[in-house]
Amino acid sequence: MSFQLSPGVQVQEIDLTTAIPSVGTTDAAIGGVFRWGPVEKATLVTTEDQLVSKYGRPTADNAETFFSAASFLAYSNSLFVSRAYEEGTSFNAVASTQSVSNTELEQAVVKNEEHFDTIASFPSGIEWIAKYPGELGNSLRVSVCDSADAFQQVIDLTDLEANTIDESISFTVGSNTATVSVAHDAANADVSLVAANSAVNALQAGDVVRAGNSSIGYQFLEVTNVTSPASVPGDPDGAAVFIISFEDRLTLASNVESSSIERRWKHWNLVDLAPGQSTYQSQQGNTSAQDELHVVVTDEDGKITGTPGEVLEVFEALSRATDSKNADGASNYYGDVINSGSRFVWFANDRAGAASASAELLESSSNELPYDISFEEGADSSSEEAVAPSAVMLAYDQFKSPEDFDISLVIAGKARGGDHGEQVANYIIDNVVESRKDCVALISPEREDVVNNALDIEDDVIEFRNALRSTSYAVMDCGYKYMYDKYNDIYRWIPLNGDIAGLCARTDDERDAWFSPAGFNRGQIRNIVKLAWNPKQAQRDLLYKNGINPIVNFPGQGIIMFGDKTLLSKPSDFDRINVRRLFIVLEKAIARASQSTLFEFNDEFTRSSFVNFVVPFLRDVQGRNGIADFAVICDQTNNTGEVIDRGEFVGDIYIKPARAINFIQLNFVAVRSGVEFSEIIGQF
């Protein structure tokens, strides 16, 4: 507080409104094999549609991982996904006009946006790179139109060579081909071939040719192939003929013949005008250079959208000038715009004939045809069945630090590694949940333990559990569910840990984290056809004694999570899911609020302030059935002079957690007619 040296009024504001903030308890995380999306960087997805958009549709190679994530999203809307990646086996698809070596493919791997920013340059033979590693990138196709001629040309067959005496392109109704004939007098038969070749060189697959006239209308036909010209044997005029094949058949009212071929860029109708000169380029003084280009990215094979040829992205009127700016000052250089805005591709190198440069030094494109090329050489990591456990562990490493991701549920997905499939689950326990101590792992046994296991299911499941660590920060269910895969029109066996995480999230949403997610009120499993194993009472007793939560099909009542145990082996209140999650909520919330106490003096005022924001919070939790009773001690008894001298601050919080009912006993007592109930109540 400052001191006044002359009369006046000084106003000072002191904030004593510190309160306990609410904490997110439903954010979950999963790591595993996906076909698309960033690696070494976890991202948030909120719906199954977004999961497909960011990480690709499921296949047999990653169905258990994908649907574990999708199962959780059926209950909640906040899931962080980390994609497993195997170095040296998974590559980004590339678009190149020349062959690409394995070394160049390794140099063209881009894992995520941050990784891209660290790469100084790419191999010169590669023009475009798929956004992420994976075979799915091979479905991409990129088309670049960088000149007015590439956008549209009229090939006048009469102007190809001198002495032309007959020329035409003929379209026939119902046919998907057109015949082009170029003829000279008999003495110049070889010239016919030269002329025809010049027309062929002005066309390429993917171009669009306009057929028709003003009388019958027009039809645009996409070129699929152009044959090499051939002389017509015995033709007195020495004609040369070639055939243009189209994607569709001519459907106009009559046949059409013309002396010119009007070709256009395949995507001419997706943009307003042919590429020309941008305003920025014209303002820089180099007015002879045409700098604009258009870029279109499509799903050529339909593996991304399900529709072959679907247009994914259109970038219109970008500039090859590296210093180009829009009216709002943002970069309009096509490398910058695409690398910051595309969801599917990275720009790597310029196309030949259309080099980038500053506006002052830029030259117009010399290309007369569009650049239209498929991506290839993309490769996935191994399947979820064969992937190295270390790759999955590295994916879960993204969630080690609570400062990076605020999560409360970790979905283990498919069991992998070790003698019983326990290796990845134990890694999650040791290195994520036990290290953070603010989240819970959800674990399912190996598929082989419960699917088509007719002999000793309970023994195999218990054997899996016994291979896991004892911890209150993990929860294990007993099996797999059979569910419909709408993306491939088949049914699949999927581990239930995604659903158990979903039940916890749904319980948080409907009640609170300290309510049990099990039972008929909150334990209903969604999107399930049947269980791989429906344990009976004796089997459930055995499972529960070993800390495994049975999932049970009760006829007419649904498929229910019928237990709320953690994997803690020793007798303790923390062997219950609701108690463990209660303390996670309390610890996380109070720890965050306590940060405001850091660097204050450890005096009576600070200690009293601490008590004053903790007690109302705990009283509120108590009123919502979270705790039975509590006490908060923060005074001179636990903040002694020695504690204060060490720069420490101690608050002791005692909690009596509320217990969920696990066992119900109903006593029915028959009595004689003349007996008063008051005489016998309490005797049994």
For residue 3, the model assigns a pLDDT of: 45
pLDDT, tens digit, 9 for 90 and up, residues 2-30: 444 556 554 445 444 455 555 444 799 99
Q: Residues near 205 by Cβ (< 8 Å), separated by ≥ 6?
A: 223, 224, 225, 226, 372
Residue 153 CA to residue 160 CA, distance in Å, equals 14
pLDDT, tens digit, 9 for 90 and up, residues 459-470: 999 999 999 999
Region at 163 (left for phi over 0; alpha for psi -120 to 50; beta for the rest): left
For residue 322, the model assigns a pLDDT of: 96
Quick one: which H or E segment has residue 182?
Answer: strand 177-184
Q: How many CB atoms lie within 10 A of CB 665?
A: 4
- Inter-residue contact 544 to 563 (CB < 8 Å): yes
For residue 194, the model assigns a pLDDT of: 83
Residue 602 CA to residue 645 CA, distance in Å, equals 9
SS3 label, residue 322: coil
Question: Within the chain, which residues score under 50 in pLDDT?
Answer: 1-4, 10-12, 14-17, 23-25
CATH topology of domain 385-578: Rossmann fold (3.40.50)
End-to-end CA distance of the chain: 70
Which token pair is 225?
A: 């192939």
| Backbone phi and psi for residue 457, each to the nearest 5 degrees, phi listed first | -60, -50
CA atoms within 13 A on the CB side of 452: 4
* pTM for the structure as a whole: 0.85
Q: Where are the domains of the chain?
A: 149-268, 385-578, 603-684
Residue 59 CA to residue 62 CA, distance in Å, equals 6
For residue 271, the model assigns a pLDDT of: 96
- Inter-residue contact 480 to 494 (CB < 8 Å): yes
Residue 91 CA to residue 586 CA, distance in Å, equals 45
DSSP codes joined into one string, 535-561: --HHHHHHHHHTTEE-EEEETTTEEEE
For residue 660, the model assigns a pLDDT of: 65
Give the β-pairing of 128-133 and 345-347: antiparallel
Residue 409 CA to residue 424 CA, distance in Å, equals 16
Q: Residues near 409 by Cβ (< 8 Å), separated by ≥ 6?
A: 26, 27, 28, 29, 72, 439, 440, 442, 501, 504, 505
